[in-house]
Structure 1
């Protein structure tokens, strides 16, 4: 059973959408029906502008470890996927969820739209995913910066919904697009917004905690980084402190290199929206498992 799960960044619940969803007993039956299937996260209008903003797969449900009558839905590791664009609840004035529409297609007031957990028919799930993770994203991104008339029109390759949610190639492209957009195509560490001769942004999308190490494709597990800074971050030469100040392995990084590559503030340049800031747990994992380990499997790019 597909579900829509409401999430607010200022929620009183112990939520972290990419790993767990905290909910009260009243939603237990619906949540149990959703185990092993996929969910879409939704931010209510009064809480922000994201609308539907991500998808994931539920793995299990456990009792909350400290609070009575509360439960935790555990997200399957690696299944969380940020949408590349937010999806509004209303399309041409009509709710994407039929349960939220009256017989004439107009939005219902109160009632169902206030529910934190809502069942979602398969076709409506697919439509929301189509809007948040476009079927032709791979082709669009490949030719996004081509000058007008540079090549013959390309017939877009459209992956089915399940492939977009599971195939690494599509997920990597979607993650790159979402992270670059969140950081306004600016390197989070140098603060520079560089483009090549064709207008393509030079900034890359780095996983803070790699997917192979239990990370996921949440924007909050990503940093937009220039190529050299990305190399340094992945190899433990750069880290990020809890207060977002930049940590440098000075015994491995020459002072002049650090001065050229790092922004004058010495802190991360963060997305405008706080809901897209890197999650503290991800930065902590990188500090504990990567920073200072200096994984140097090739010569540094500065020679």
Structure 2
């Protein structure tokens, strides 16, 4: 096994869905197969945008692309994708983070390995990139963000001693990383009510909801998330609210939700508030999964006390 860097462009001719599959030509097949079972870092090339390194994931297997000669698919391990808390620049202090992209004096190389869509990544370079994008103390940063005196991190006091890959698999760490990215993408507003509420200390009240739960095959991709207020999150998880096939009209289980509750909780136009960056818009596939598997599937027929 070997770690890899995979180049990704949102408008590429290759049909990538970063948390699900990576589409590539035969010329990269050998390297991709070497990466099966190991972690990869996603990278946005200069001509595609400013992000640089922006996420990690793990390759589960590599298969031929059905119906397309000379193309292959790297299938991403379900639940492994995790966006960086902050995108990592291509150069730090004028030097590439990848050894293979640097000249002997540390200056950036041109051409060659720089242009490869799939390239091998030494363990040290992987750790360096991940530590910049997903710092070991991210949980502490979030906990003290609005309350500098917050504690409760005795168990994690030595988190920096953990291997990077162990950190990437810890559910509490991933939950914090997901919450930060989703709430930021929606500018701390509830996607259904449109409200941006903060408590007395300035802490945002909006929560990060998985559209398709991780335990049901969902990922920690922002496109599998919605920023929702506590009440709306509860309703969404219980199938009282969903999003229509147009990916913007809010659906309500009207036989379960009173009209006055709908008026208080929905945006006036009945449309979903989306992130300003289209790359963060909720995935149609995930929304479809929620409609088909959660919406209208309230576990009990007992009346709900709406207060």
Whole-angstrom distance in 1 between the partners of 2:12 and 2:20 = 15
Equivalent position of 2:145 in the other structure:
144
CA separation of 1:107 and 1:299: change in aligned 2, threshold 3 A: farther
Equivalent position of 2:292 in the other structure:
288
**Contact 1:138/1:157 (CA < 8 Å) preserved in 2?**
no
By how many angstroms is 1:242 displaced?
2.6
Equivalent position of 2:45 in the other structure:
44
**Contact 1:80/1:218 (CA < 8 Å) preserved in 2?**
yes
Equivalent position of 2:174 in the other structure:
171
Provide, for residues 26-76 of structure 1, a one-character-per-residue CA deviation record: whole Å limited to 9, x for no partner.
000000100010101111122122211111111111111010011111111
By how many angstroms is 1:245 displaced?
1.1
**Residues 221-232 of structure 1 mapped to structure 2, 5 A cutoff:** 221-232=224-235
Equivalent position of 2:187 in the other structure:
184
**Residues 250-269 of structure 1 mapped to structure 2, 5 A cutoff:** 250-269=254-273
What secondary structure does 1:102 align onto?
A: coil
CA separation of 1:41 and 1:297: change in aligned 2, threshold 3 A: farther
By how many angstroms is 1:163 displaced?
2.1
By how many angstroms is 1:98 displaced?
1.3
What secondary structure does 1:171 align onto?
A: helix
User: What's the TM-score once normalised by structure 1's chain length?
Assistant: 0.94
Whole-angstrom distance in 1 between the partners of 2:214 and 2:199 = 28
Equivalent position of 2:6 in the other structure:
5
By how many angstroms is 1:110 displaced?
2.3
Whole-angstrom distance in 2 between the partners of 1:110 and 1:301 = 64
**Contact 2:65/2:72 (CA < 8 Å) preserved in 1?**
yes
Equivalent position of 1:273 in the other structure:
277
By how many angstroms is 1:295 displaced?
3.6
CA separation of 1:195 and 1:15: change in aligned 2, threshold 3 A: same
Whole-angstrom distance in 2 between the partners of 1:186 and 1:39 = 32
What secondary structure does 2:290 align onto?
A: helix
User: What's the TM-score once normalised by structure 2's chain length?
Assistant: 0.93
